[in-house]
Every structure is written in structure tokens, then in C-alpha cells.
């Protein structure tokens, strides 16, 4: 106990020491467009002896202003902490990479040794990662301990660039006898998906030094979860693992349960809204029971966990002396199951650590379980078939190249592949007839299925890529024009389904909302301006878009633009 107090005191003193050598402009809301706008800031940086940390959060920095600040940082060889989250609000996406490159080059020139790099809440996408790629590989990041990139819209491409940079940094630093030992990695809300997560898993496995990993809301399914699970086994000092709102299913949950057996230092596990299901929850419970002596928090909320599995989890935490919170809310326990769980926790004198069960979904019907399993099996078969088709295509191309024979006639575009796993490239490959091909695949008389197709197509929208943008909008216009012109089509049901799928409206049915991306709102903004869209539905959309809903937090600019358009359209109608 005395040792812990001394350690905490030392940590506190260390932090206060950095604070004394910190220059902060946090939350000042400055619009810094050019060198003139940062003259006072530059002078303060230049005059600050031994500067170790600079806070620029909550301002908006242009390219010229960033270059001026960078020039002032070129002599700061004691610099350690970049607190640069939310500093490009309202900037063009093209402005961000050169601004980051200037700042990074300055730190490298100064000979800085960074410990913290925080660029969260800057929607810079893959290009923004390219802006820090050189910095991440340099000597300035050999000492990096915390990398915070939450809500940056990196996507799969950005995740791969980031992973490659970290791997290179580890290789370079290892060659100098001081390998990169990153402790904290935060990258929630980035649409990393399986490929991005798998790439990062390779970097995590190589480093083996992580203590905190936060990657919620990234659209990661069981292949990516399994890759992360393998990587986590090599990070035995891990204390916090937050993968909330990704889709484990049983396969991913079982893989993660195996990883937990190697993580005896773990204190916080957040697998909430990860669809671990009963078998996954039981596997996790077994790992918890067998080890994890200092576990404090376990979150398996909204995971379709049933009564038996929940009781297994409760029993698993029985001897965890440091346990503070067990969250099993939003599962499928039913009234009797909730009572049994509460009684079980009371019998173990642990009732106070059990979270609320107010959002329990009720006992799951057996038919529903069977349907879920069948759907999962079908999804896995579809994934395997698509992978096999892609491998066959690659083999055919390689063989034809080797033999210098004519390339075989290409297969007709696969609409089902696009609708199952949407990507800009797949949409473009459908060619000029893409709208017709999609119409043939989707039942446009069904408003809900049309809403699902809308979100899949809109998810690949890219404002900066005109070919993709036009392909998305042309396809959407063609499909919705045809749908709304059908007499039996229910426009209000379409809008309601859209709101449910976006997580803005609760449904009596069990519907898992999609991960909202700016493309959804950009395309919706386009649609409400078209003559085929019923103007009576504009007011409904406006009412829901104006509510304070966290699911739209990652799309602030797109949401604001949509609200303005809805208001204008409503005023004109």
C-alpha cells in the first residue's frame, strides 16, 4: 500500500512538472489563418525556456498559421507533449496534412522526444495519417508513450498507414537499442473495420508494451477481433481494453476469452454492445474465473447474453476483491433472469457492484436464437465465397500474365458483394449500369429494404473523390426516384426505417443500428433537395436531426449542413 502511495505521488509530481513547462491555448476558439494571427503565440513559444507541452485544442489552425507555429518549435529540444486535438474545425481536409507535416518536421528538427501525441477529433481521414507518417517513423517518436487518434475518420487506409508507421518506428528504435514502448493507444470511431484492425494488431503484437487500448465503434467483426485477440496476448501488461460497439459474435468472443487468460494485469474490460452472445459470454466468464486477479470493471451490456450466461459471469467475479462494476444491462435475461442475477449477486455480498438492468430486452425466444445462428452461418459462408472468388480472380490474372495469353473475359460485376461489403471500388466496378443492377437486387417495393440499401450505398460516399461521389448520388437518385414513384411504396416507413437504422429512433423490433458516417448525412442532404422526395417527410427528419444524439457526434459538419438544408427546404415548401 505504501509503495502504491509513493508511486501515485511520484506520478502526480511528474505531471505537475510538465504542467509547469506547458503553454496552453486550450479552448480559446481562435481562428488562426495566417502568420499574423499567431504572432503573439509564436513569441510566447519562442520566449518559453524549456517548453515541454503545447495545448492547441479547441482552436482552428490553417496551413500558414501552422507553419509559423512550427518555426517557433524548431528550437524546442525538450518538447514532449502535443495536445493537438480538435484544432482543425472548419478547415478543408486538404489543409490538414500540410499543417501536420510542418509541425512534425519542426519537432524532428528540434530533436524533440515525444511522450504524448494527441490528434483526436480532427476529421483528417487517411490523408491526415500521411501527414504524421514521417513524424511517427522518426526519432521524435521513439519515446512515444501515448497515441490518441480518437474520432479522426482514418478508415481502413489510414489504419494501414498508421500500423506500417508504428512497425517501422519500432524497427528503427530497436536498431538503436531503445525499442518503441507505446503504452496508450486510442482510436475509437475511425471505421478501421477488419483490415485496419488486423494491420494494427501486427504493430501491437510487435511492440508488446500496451497498457491501454481503446478502439470502440470501428465496425470490426470477428476476423479483426480475432487478430486483435492474438496481439493482446503479447501485451501482458495491458490494464484497460475497450472494444465497445464492435461485432465479436461467438467466434470473436471465444478468441478474446483465450487472450484474457494471458492478461493478469487487466483491470477494465469493456465489451459492451459487442454481440458476444451466450457462448461468448460463458467463454469470457471462464477466463475471468481462472485468472484476472485485479479486475475492477467488466462490461458485457447489450450483447444478447441470456440468463444462464449472465449467471456464469456473475459467478466468475465472485472472488475478485477489487471488483467495482459489473454491467450486464440490455441483455436477454427476462424478468425472472434479472431477479436470479440480482439474488446471486446479493448471495455473494456483491449486489452493489451490479449495474442497472433497466434496459433488459426480455427473455429471448428459442426460434430467435436459431435464426440468429443461421444468419451468422450464412454471413460467414457469404464472406468465404467472396474471398474464394477474389482469390480465383487473382490466380487467373497471375496465370494469364505468366503465360502471356489473353486475359479471360471478366465476370459480370457482383452486386451482392457490394451490398454485403460496400466499398467505393466495388461500386465503381459495377459500371454505368450500377443503378439498374442494384435495382434488380433490392426489392424497391419494400421501404425497409430500400432504406438498408440507401445506407449501404451512402456509406461509401467521398466528397473529395468526384467519381465516387457522382456514382453514389446517381445510384441513389435512380433507386429512390423509382421507389417513390411506385404507388405501393410507403415513404413514411422508408424515413422511419432510416431513422431506426441510424440509431435516432427506437424500434420495437431488434434492429442493430449502423455506424453513422458523414456520407450517410451528405447523401441524405442531397436527397431532401430532389423533387422525388416527399416534402411532408422533411419536418420529421428535421425534428430528429435537431435532437442531441451522440450517434451523430462524429459527423458534426455533415449534420449541421443537413440541418441547414432541411430548414431551407421546409421554408421553401
3-state secondary structure 390-426: HHHHHHHHHHHHHHCCCCCCCCCCCHHHHHHCCCHHH
C-alpha cell at 522: 451528405
Which regions of 120-242 does DSSP assign to beta strands (E)?
146-148, 184-186, 212-214, 240-242
pLDDT band at 24 (very low <50, low <70, confident <90, very high): very high
Give the pairing type, strands 31-32 and 60-61.
parallel
| Model confidence pLDDT, tens digit, residues 453-499 | 999 999 999 888 889 999 999 999 999 999 888 888 888 788 888 88
User: What stretch of H or E contains 558?
Assistant: helix 556-572
* pLDDT at res. 406: 39
Average pLDDT for residues 247-252, to the nearest whole number?
94
- Give the residue from 525, 539, 526, 523 showing the smallest Cα distance to 491: 539
The answer to pTM > 0.85 is no
Are the beta carbons of 520 and 455 closer than 8 angstroms? yes
DSSP letter for 326, please.
E
Mean pLDDT of 382-406: 44
Q: How far is CA 394 from CA 131, 197, 391, 398, in A?
A: 32, 24, 5, 6
Dist CA 498 CA 562 (whole Å): 15
- Identify whether the C-beta of residue 486 lies closer than 8 Å to the C-beta of residue 445: yes
Only one residue has cell 502504491, namely 4
In 128-277, the DSSP E strands lie at 146-148, 184-186, 212-214, 240-242, 268-270
Q: Concatenated DSSP letters for 494-510?
A: HHHHHHHHTTSS--SS-
Band the pLDDT of 10: cuts 50, 70, 90. Answer: very low
116-118 vs 146-148, strand pairing mode = parallel
Q: How far apart, in Å, are the Cα atoms of 248 and each of 245, 257, 447?
A: 9, 11, 29
Residues 6+ apart with CB under 8 A from 374: none
Q: If you average pLDDT over every residue of the chain, what do you get?
A: 86
Q: Which of 242, 237, 230 is closest to 268 using CA atoms?
A: 242
Q: Tell me the C-alpha distance between 442 and 429, whole Å.
A: 18
Res 397: pLDDT = 42
Dist. CA 538–CA 528, nearest whole Å: 7
CA distance 266 to 288: 10
When pLDDT is averaged across residues 519-532 and rounded to a whole number, the result is: 91
Q: How far apart are CA 130 and CA 100, in angstroms?
A: 9
List, for residues 395-425, the tens digit of each pLDDT value: 444 443 333 333 333 444 578 888 888 888 8
The DSSP call for residue 512 is P
Element (H, E) at 325: strand 325-327
The grid coordinates listed for 121 are 477529433
User: What distance, in Å, lies between the first and last C-alpha atoms of the chain?
Assistant: 69
Walk across the sheet containing 325-327 and list its strands: 22-24, 53-55, 81-83, 116-118, 146-148, 184-186, 212-214, 240-242, 268-270, 297-299, 325-327
Q: Measuring CA to CA, how many Å separate 33 from each of 128, 410, 511? A: 19, 50, 45
Residue 152 grid cell: 479522426
Cell of 123: 476529421
pLDDT band at 508 (very low <50, low <70, confident <90, very high): low
pLDDT band at 552 (very low <50, low <70, confident <90, very high): confident
pLDDT tens-digit profile of 264-295? 999 999 999 999 999 999 999 989 988 899 99
Indicate the Cα dihedral angle 276, 279, 281, 284, nearest 10°: -110
> What pLDDT shows up at residue 372?
52
Amino acid at each position: 500500500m505504501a509503495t502504491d502511495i509513493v508511486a501515485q505521488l511520484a506520478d502526480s509530481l511528474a505531471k505537475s512538472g510538465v504542467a509547469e513547462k506547458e503553454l496552453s491555448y486550450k479552448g480559446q476558439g481562435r481562428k488562426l489563418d495566417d502568420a499574423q494571427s499567431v504572432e503573439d503565440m509564436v513569441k510566447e513559444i519562442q520566449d518559453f525556456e524549456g517548453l515541454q507541452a503545447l495545448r492547441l485544442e479547441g482552436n482552428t489552425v490553417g496551413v500558414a498559421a501552422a507553419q509559423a507555429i512550427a518555426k517557433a518549435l524548431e528550437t524546442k529540444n525538450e518538447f514532449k507533449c502535443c495536445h493537438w486535438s480538435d484544432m482543425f474545425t472548419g478547415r478543408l481536409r486538404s489543409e490538414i496534412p500540410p499543417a501536420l507535416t510542418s509541425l512534425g518536421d519542426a519537432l524532428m528538427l528540434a530533436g524533440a522526444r515525444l511522450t504524448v501525441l494527441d490528434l483526436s477529433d480532427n476529421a483528417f481521414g487517411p490523408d491526415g495519417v500521411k501527414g504524421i507518417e514521417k513524424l511517427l517513423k522518426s526519432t521524435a517518436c521513439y519515446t512515444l508513450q501515448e497515441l490518441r487518434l480518437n474520432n479522426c475518420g482514418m478508415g481502413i487506409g489510414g489504419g494501414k498507414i498508421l500500423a506500417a508507421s508504428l512497425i517501422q518506428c519500432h524497427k528503427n528504435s530497436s536498431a538503436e537499442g531503445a525499442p518503441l514502448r507505446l503504452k496508450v493507444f486510442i482510436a475509437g470511431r475511425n471505421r478501421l473495420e477488419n483490415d485496419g484492425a488486423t494491420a494494427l494488431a501486427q504493430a501491437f503484437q510487435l511492440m508488446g508494451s500496451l497498457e491501454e487500448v481503446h478502439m470502440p465503434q470501428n465496425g470490426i467483426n470477428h476476423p479483426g477481433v480475432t487478430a486483435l485477440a492474438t496481439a493482446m496476448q503479447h501485451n501482458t501488461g495491458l490494464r484497460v481494453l475497450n472494444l465497445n460497439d464492435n461485432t465479436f459474435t461467438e467466434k470473436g468472443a471465444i478468441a478474446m476469452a483465450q487472450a484474457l487468460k494471458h492478461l493478469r494485469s487487466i483491470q477494465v474490460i469493456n465489451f459492451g454492445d459487442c454481440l458476444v452472445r451466450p457462448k461468448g459470454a460463458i467463454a469470457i466468464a471462464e477466463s475471468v474465473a481462472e485468472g484476472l486477479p485485479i479486475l475492477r470493471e467488466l462490461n458485457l451490456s447489450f450483447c444478447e447474453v441470456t440468463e444462464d450466461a449472465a449467471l456464469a459471469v456473475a459467478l466468475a467475479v465472485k472472488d475478485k476483491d477489487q471488483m467495482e462494476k459489473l454491467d450486464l444491462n440490455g441483455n436477454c435475461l427476462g424478468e425472472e433472469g434479472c431477479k436470479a442475477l440480482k439474488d446471486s449477486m446479493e448471495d455473494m455480498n456483491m449486489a452493489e457492484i451490479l449495474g442497472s438492468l433497466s434496459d433488459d430486452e426480455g427473455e429471448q425466444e428459442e426460434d430467435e436464437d436459431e435464426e440468429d445462428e443461421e444468419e451468422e452461418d450464412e454471413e460467414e459462408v457469404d464472406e468465404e465465397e467472396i474471398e474464394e472468388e477474389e482469390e480465383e480472380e487473382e490466380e487467373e490474372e497471375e496465370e494469364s500474365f505468366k503465360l502471356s495469353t489473353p486475359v479471360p473475359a471478366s465476370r459480370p460485376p457482383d452486386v451482392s458483394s457490394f451490398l454485403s461489403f460496400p466499398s467505393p471500388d466495388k461500386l465503381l466496378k459495377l459500371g454505368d449500369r450500377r443503378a439498374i443492377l442494384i435495382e434488380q437486387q433490392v426489392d424497391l417495393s419494400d421501404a425497409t429494404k430500400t432504406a438498408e440499401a440507401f445506407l449501404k450505398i451512402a456509406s461509401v460516399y467521398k466528397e473529395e473523390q468526384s467519381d465516387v461521389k457522382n456514382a453514389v448520388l446517381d445510384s441513389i437518385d435512380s433507386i429512390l426516384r423509382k421507389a417513390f414513384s411506385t404507388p405501393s411504396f410507403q415513404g413514411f416507413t422508408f424515413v422511419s426505417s432510416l431513422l431506426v437504422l441510424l440509431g435516432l429512433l427506437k424500434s420495437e423490433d431488434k434492429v442493430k443500428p449502423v455506424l453513422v458516417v458523414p456520407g450517410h448525412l451528405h447523401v441524405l442532404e442531397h436527397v431532401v433537395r430532389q423533387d422525388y422526395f416527399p416534402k411532408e417527410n422533411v419536418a420529421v427528419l428535421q425534428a430528429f436531426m435537431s435532437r442531441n444524439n451522440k450517434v451523430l457526434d462524429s459527423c458534426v459538419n455533415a449534420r449541421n449542413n443537413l440541418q441547414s438544408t432541411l430548414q431551407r427546404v421546409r421554408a421553401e415548401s
